[in-house]
Amino acid sequence: MSLPSYLAWPWGPQRGRISIDKSNSDESNPPEFETFDVMRPRGPSDEETKAAGLSVLSVDMRVTENKKDHNTDKYKNSNLIVRRNKEFTIILKLDRTFNEEQDDVQMEFLIGSSPDENRGTYITVSIGKEKHDGTWKSRVVEIQGNDVTVGIKPDATCIVGRFRTFVAVVTDLGKHRTQRNPDTDFYVLFNPWDPADQVYMEKEEDRKEYVMNDVGSIYNGEFSNITTRSWNYGQFEEGVLDACLLVMDAGKVPLLYRGNSTEVVRQGSALMNAQDDDGVLVGNWSGDYSAGTAPTAWTGSPEILLKYASEGCVPVCFAQCWVFAGTLNTFMRCLGIPARVITNYCSAHDNTGNLKTDIVLDEDGRVDRSRTRDSVWNYHCWNEVYMKRLDLPEKYSGWQVVDCTPQETSDGLYRCGPTSVNAIKEGELSYPFDAKFVFAELNSDVIYHKSNKYGKTKIIYVDTAYVGKLLVTKKKESSEHEDITATYKYPEGSLKEREVMQMAERRGVPSREYLPLTEAGVDIELQADTVKMGENFKLTMNIKNQTSQSCTLSATITGCVVYYTGVTSTTFKLESKSVTVEASKAESVTIDIKGMEYIPHLVEQSNLLFVAYGNIEENNTSLTTMKVVTLRPPELAIKMIGTPRVGKELMVSVEFMNPYNFILKKVQLRLDGPSLIPTKLKEYSQILPGASVKYKVSMVPRTAGKVVLMACLDCPLLRQVTNQLEIEVVKEE
Amino acid sequence: MSLPSYLAWPWGPQRGRISIDKSNSDESNPPEFETFDVMRPRGPSDEETKAAGLSVLSVDMRVTENKKDHNTDKYKNSNLIVRRNKEFTIILKLDRTFNEEQDDVQMEFLIGSSPDENRGTYITVSIGKEKHDGTWKSRVVEIQGNDVTVGIKPDATCIVGRFRTFVAVVTDLGKHRTQRNPDTDFYVLFNPWDPADQVYMEKEEDRKEYVMNDVGSIYNGEFSNITTRSWNYGQFEEGVLDACLLVMDAGKVPLLYRGNSTEVVRQGSALMNAQDDDGVLVGNWSGDYSAGTAPTAWTGSPEILLKYASEGCVPVCFAQCWVFAGTLNTFMRCLGIPARVITNYCSAHDNTGNLKTDIVLDEDGRVDRSRTRDSVWNYHCWNEVYMKRLDLPEKYSGWQVVDCTPQETSDGLYRCGPTSVNAIKEGELSYPFDAKFVFAELNSDVIYHKSNKYGKTKIIYVDTAYVGKLLVTKKKESSEHEDITATYKYPEGSLKEREVMQMAERRGVPSREYLPLTEAGVDIELQADTVKMGENFKLTMNIKNQTSQSCTLSATITGCVVYYTGVTSTTFKLESKSVTVEASKAESVTIDIKGMEYIPHLVEQSNLLFVAYGNIEENNTSLTTMKVVTLRPPELAIKMIGTPRVGKELMVSVEFMNPYNFILKKVQLRLDGPSLIPTKLKEYSQILPGASVKYKVSMVPRTAGKVVLMACLDCPLLRQVTNQLEIEVVKEE
């Protein structure tokens, strides 16, 4: 016997293309009456309805009790929220006592606009005589008077999203359903607490941090001078869960895929950026953010996600990597997928995919910008999500890299990952998704070319240690950072590291062999301490001559302001020095840097970059070195008056003084703190030189325990002025 | 020492996003004069030019000789076409004899608008005193008077596309370049003849078929009745190569990726269909093709690709799977990637990715269309390409599946593959790209559900053998088909097959276990011979009763017209029969089908589908079976007058008679034959019942040997009337 293929779904004009349900917000619901005898008109007569002898007066979703059991009581949402593969109970209030031998009651849970059993968008469970459950299980827990308490257990792989509830009394004549009632809608989330769930996480302390923690620290600055900024993930804030589902609807993620965390993560990484699919955030590294909010001005994700949702899915302006990563982190934790934000210091942006970052200097040691396309970011933020990779061999489960900052297109769309951290460490780059790109961000060599006057280049230096220097994430139950470099890489120069490189080459990474380079026997190094923004300071260049004869070094030192992307805005200093150093001696020269030289050119994250290029006259060899100087912004003081008590008013003041001799214009001051206050924005048209501003806010703590208050001051001339205050809220006595 | 990251390329406002060169047609070229001393004004004086003492009068690309050596002489293109990793020679005509010790001549080959050494879009080789080649190699082959013959060898991984040539004489004063001259442009293609190339193919007979053959056979019909239609791939026809490059430009395929056949294939599969990227062809399965050309009316790819190119990359209307596959095949062979067209009979279209094709019947055995979403195509065509998969373990190299018919979205775009045929056979579905989807097309189970009056469904039959019944492709040096099922699947029911299924489950394919089904002990079967279109015929239903008591079968037989996609257009017959069959006896009933019943309803590929659903009253079990009846269209006769000789005129006539008692309107008659005639289209507003048309064409064979002449007649009431004539063209004596 063979298949009646005439039974196919009638497609539209584009029959080759199947129409798939891609929205959680669209609905189609079953009729209130459904008669089984197709001959008779719809809607049974009164006698029949009586004959049914049973009707459902109301359905109690037991929101509060269930939410406690399902670790979802922190969500500020009036509907029920449950997790997969864990039973929740609802109470059916009937007009008489339920009889398990005679009555037949069916519960139907629907999602989307074309509910379909085979696709998990139409789920039925039943109690009473006609017992036939599908993937979800049900049982009668208790019968008390006219109340029946029913236990329902969604399966461990079901779709994550908002379901609609219907209860139908079934008789020989037909089905009699409850009407559509949004109060009985409920959300199903991923379940890190359940071993059967793809995102299961064994340790409670891990779940507490990576799923339940709604504030975090994101690290930036520079690897030798790590700076911290707090971020409000706010995954439990009112409206955030709906916003996350809306993001998937806007991105047309088929409902069918929404039970698979690998798919949800991959789609999510594409949907956080506005490139090629009106996603949540618009990336902007131009320095001009007048058309929106500066990336440095945000304090958390809720403001961004709620803006996106309330404005009809219009992309929000503007973001850079930590904003992308912070928002994606909220999206993941909100849906129940364990996630954390990672910072990779000295992150290569290898767009030729050859694991080489090529830097080309011209004949005189100046950059040849027309031939230098790659770059190394001072730091780059991405996310890790924790899950079982059902599509890959078991050892590649666990933490997965996902990166939603638009860098390269991954397979046509701007997204990256999920890709197994274990696979990256082993150089096993065949498996999806985008392993090669992530591997390059961590393992590229920096190749330093110099061209002769014929335009022919030759390699003058190769640095295999610079890229992927350090990877950090927030420690559990602490705001300190944790060094996780070892989860991504074997020690520099170790045998294992060489093996990994060979493995990577067997997986299509072009091999990297370089001709040996002539050693100058002379080292140069730049030195400076971190400086308070605006101060004058000294930059020192040390020259060590290890050869047996004296040498003469002619050096050019370039000073410029640099973005965290490794892109410079302005060169403010250019100085040449010539020094003679005796055999096996050391010399040093100092250069004075005035605040007034760099202040006017500062961009959002105030790093100064000094590059020295030198030439040894005696043997005509080239030297080069670099030093990033991070500038400490002025302080933003947060003061609290009185002890914070639940339900009691609390006064907080934020103070700032403009230490510069120029006016700060269009100043934004943001205050933020989950379960303390919604994001507050205060704007100052200007702050005069030497002038101070003091912003007082009253707030009423909602819950006891540790909470974080964050403040951020931002204006075109001064970025990245942030501070945070940890507050221990005590119970009302 | 560390990296001067200020050396980064200055990005646009979207600094996070790198701008990559994505067009072969855009240009930017170097200046004619380039002086090395930056102080002096551009353009050397007369003395200086003389001082150079050498100038290039002209460059001879030796088009004819090189094309012969590179297996590219069949391309109707006046420019040079070479293959990777094989030397070609050009002659530089100078104003004096070249001196290898003193002169320095640089050759520059550019592609795209931002030529860059690190990206392989700016290539230089040089001869003479300053010898420094990059990835491409060069040598002086011969110096004869003022002519220098130079050998140039592109590297085995270089970008495939159209390069521009410049020759520069280098002196201490600067470079003196030849001017931009399109005649010296040349194309570099993949090289299946070279072991170092990713697409290397060992056997000459294979390359002859899968790279060089410009006609082919595509198989359709039904697995028990395979029909053939010839296809004009025409990869060598004038303008086709440029059209293929234009397709990649229109699809914004980065030049950087165009040396990697895996990338080119993946992008190509997305670009052949118009979905989500104005690709080449618009899919249409609606039956209404009035807005363009019916999929059944095409005879080959050149007409399609040239239309796309000449109309500014506006998608061409309309295509179905064999048109998509035929055009993609041309694209591949034209660029030098070995490719062939495959037909998979009974190809599952599994939307849920669970390897189940779910068919749901209602209480009375009628299809419940609202609950049946999947379908099985009578046949589906895709392509195979041959290459080394550098990104995967070695054993997954070889033939790769690629499918450009828009079915499901693969990772966001409508495309599928390349995915290793070996991996599919072994159930190793983790590796890119889209292995699961292809595996499902071949290995889905057909699950047959029936619902009771409560709307509850139960499985009544599972067919594990129906899907992926047979895979075929054209035999080498023959128009017969070759059964390649064994390259995709182990024998049905073998131990190996079970192991593969288990492997697939370990790779995330949901496991498939079914409850045992009760056997009816009664078999039904439908029988009919293939019929000439329009004829009356008899359909027989045989009932075999293997039980020990008599049974009564009440059956419904549905007859409908079906698309090759498994979708029906109209039901033209519905008949009920009741038969009583004695214990262990057989009975049969016949049903008369009149031509007039189905003729008015026929769709493009004339298959009739009969489905019988029966119920045994005694034990209330269900039976179902199906039979596809393929209708033979009327004949299209091709006659040739005289012996075909190279360069001599040849007369060919195509004849057709309308055998029906209705008028055929808007009739298109196409004639096609590479190296015989360009595609010819003749239109008839109508052909009356019984009337004949005769179309005479004169042609002049260009080359000796076997050529194929194809004819195709198409109109809304009658599709798929095709014929082909093999002609042996003899040399002029």
A3/B contact by beta carbon, under 8 A: yes
**A715 catalytically annotated:** no
**Cα of B348 to nearest chain A Cα, Å:** 10
Tens digits of residue pLDDT in A97-146: 999 999 999 999 999 988 888 788 999 999 988 777 788 999 999 999 99
Quickly state the pLDDT bin for A360 (edges 50, 70, 90). confident
**What's the pLDDT at B733?**
64
Q: Side chain identity at A457, as an amino acid letter? A: T
A711 band by pLDDT with thresholds 50, 70 and 90: very high
Q: Residue A357: its chain B contacts at CB < 8 A?
A: 3
A457 touches chain B (CB under 8 A): yes
Q: Which residues of B touch A284 (CB under 8 A)?
A: 13-14
**What amino acid positions of B are annotated as catalytic residues?**
321, 380, 403
Closest CA to A153 of A89, A214, A102: A89
Which residues lie closer than 8 Å to B481 by C-beta, 6 or more apart? B217, B219, B226, B228, B343, B472, B473, B474, B475
Q: How far apart are CA A593 and CA A608, in angstroms?
A: 11
CA dist A24 and A188 (Å) reads: 12
List chain B residues with CB under 8 Å of A8: 372, 374-376, 565-568
B611 contacts on A by Cβ (under 8 Å): 4, 6
- In angstroms, the CA A50 to CA A44 distance is 10
Q: Shortest CA distance to A602 belongs to which of A630, A575, A637? A: A630
pTM of the model: 0.85
> From the CA of B340, how many Å to the nearest CA of chain A?
22
Interface of B with A in 384-423 (CB under 8 A): 390-393, 405-408, 411-414
What pLDDT is attached to residue A7?
A: 27
Task: State how far the alpha carbon of B729 is from the alpha carbons of B75, B232, B671, B672, B706, in Å.
Answer: 20, 18, 18, 16, 6
Q: Give B125's strand partners.
A: B107
pLDDT digit string (tens) for B366-412?
A: 666 566 666 678 889 999 999 999 999 999 999 999 999 887 555 55
Give the one of A117, A270, A321 whose C-beta lies nearest to B412's C-beta: A270
Inter-CA distances, B311 with A42, B168, B253, B306, B320, Å: 55, 38, 20, 8, 21
Kindly tell me the number of DSSP H helices and DSSP E strands found in chain A: 12, 39
Q: Which one of B34, B457, B626 has the shortest CB-CB distance to A2?
A: B626
Give me chain A's average pLDDT, please.
87
Average pLDDT over residues A249-255: 90
Closest CA to A659 of A552, A535, A484: A535
Average pLDDT over residues B270-280: 86
Does residue B337 belong to the interface with chain A, where contact is any CB pair within 8 Å?
Answer: no
Q: Mean pLDDT, to the nearest integer, of B506-511?
A: 81
Which chain B residue has the Cα nearest residue A36? B453
Kindly determine whether residue A16 and residue B130, on different chains, have CB atoms separated by under 8 Å: no
In chain A, the residue whose alpha carbon lies closest to the alpha carbon of B124 is: A456
Q: Is A380 on the interface with B (CB under 8 A)?
A: no
- Judged by CB atoms closer than 8 Å, whether chains meet at B407 and A288 is answered as no
Closest to A566 (Cβ–Cβ): which among B5, B453, B609?
A: B5
Closest listed residue to residue A187, CA positions, set A27, A336, A337: A336
pLDDT class for A20, splitting at 50, 70, 90? low
> Quick check: B10 and A369 CB within 8 A?
yes
The whole-angstrom distance between A451's CA and the closest CA on chain B is: 12
| A130 touches B at CB < 8 Å | yes
* Tokens linked to A259: 């039970």
Nearest C-alpha of chain A: how many angstroms from B386? 17
Cα–Cα dist B359/A4, whole Å: 8
Shortest CB distance from A375 goes to which of B9, B275, B321?
B9
Which of B376, B429, B456 shows the shortest C-beta gap to A5?
Answer: B376
What sign results for the dihedral spanned by CA atoms A51, A53, A57, A62?
negative
Using a CB–CB cutoff of 8 Å, tell me whether A139 touches chain B.
no
On chain A, the residues whose CB falls within 8 A of the CB of B565 are 8, 15-16
Does B267 or A277 have the greater pLDDT score? B267
- Answer whether A91 touches B (CB < 8 Å): no
For residues A526-541, average pLDDT: 88
End-to-end CA distance of chain A: 77
Mind telling me how many Å the CA of A703 is from chain B's nearest CA? 40
Given the residues A321, A334, A404, A416, select the one marked as catalytic.
A321
pLDDT digits (tens, 9 = 90+) for A545-596: 998 999 999 888 888 887 777 666 678 888 889 999 999 999 999 999 998 8
CA distance B649 to chain A (A): 44
How far apart CA A160 and CA A100 sit, in angstroms, is 31
Q: How many A-B residue pairs are in contact by the CB < 8 A criterion?
A: 311
pLDDT in the model for residue A531? 84
Q: Which of residues 706-725 of B touch A (CB under 8 A)?
A: none
Q: What is the pLDDT of residue B658?
A: 92
Q: Which of B170, B411, B613 shows the shortest C-beta gap to A454?
A: B170
Confirm or reject contact between B43 and chain A (CB < 8 A): no
Nearest CA in chain A to B526: A1
Which chain A residues contact residue B503 at CB under 8 A? Answer: none
Q: In this complex, which of B8, B565, B567 lies closest to A375 when CB atoms are compared?
A: B8
If you average pLDDT over every residue of chain B, what do you get?
A: 87
Contact B9 A372 (CB under 8 A): yes
CA torsion through residues A246, A250, A256, A259, sign:
negative
Question: pLDDT per residue over A369-379, tens digit each?
Answer: 566 666 678 88
Write the CB contacts of A687 (distance below 8 Å, at least 6 apart in sequence).
A656, A658, A663, A664, A667, A693
- The residue type of B494 is S
The mean per-residue pLDDT over the stretch A194-202 comes to 97
Q: What are phi and psi of B348, to 5 degrees?
A: -75, 140
Amino acid in position B666: K
pLDDT the model gives residue A568: 66
The packing angle between helices B261-271 and B321-335, to 10°, is 150
Those residues with Cβ within 8 angstroms of residue B202's Cβ, 6 or more apart along the chain or in another chain: none
Q: What is the pLDDT of residue B351?
A: 59
Asked if A373 is an interface residue toward chain B (Cβ–Cβ < 8 A), one would say yes
B1 touches chain A (CB under 8 A): yes
Q: Report the residue from A9, A412, A453 with minimal CB separation from B375.
A: A9
Q: Which residues are CB-contacts of B25 (< 8 A; sequence separation ≥ 6)?
A: B245, B246, B249
Contact A118 B356 (CB under 8 A): yes
Rg (CA), chain A: 31
Q: What is the pLDDT of residues B572-596, one digit of tens each?
A: 888 889 999 999 999 999 999 998 8
| pLDDT tens, residue by residue, B24-75 | 888 888 888 877 654 444 444 444 444 458 999 999 999 999 999 999 999 9
Is residue B671's pLDDT more than 90? yes
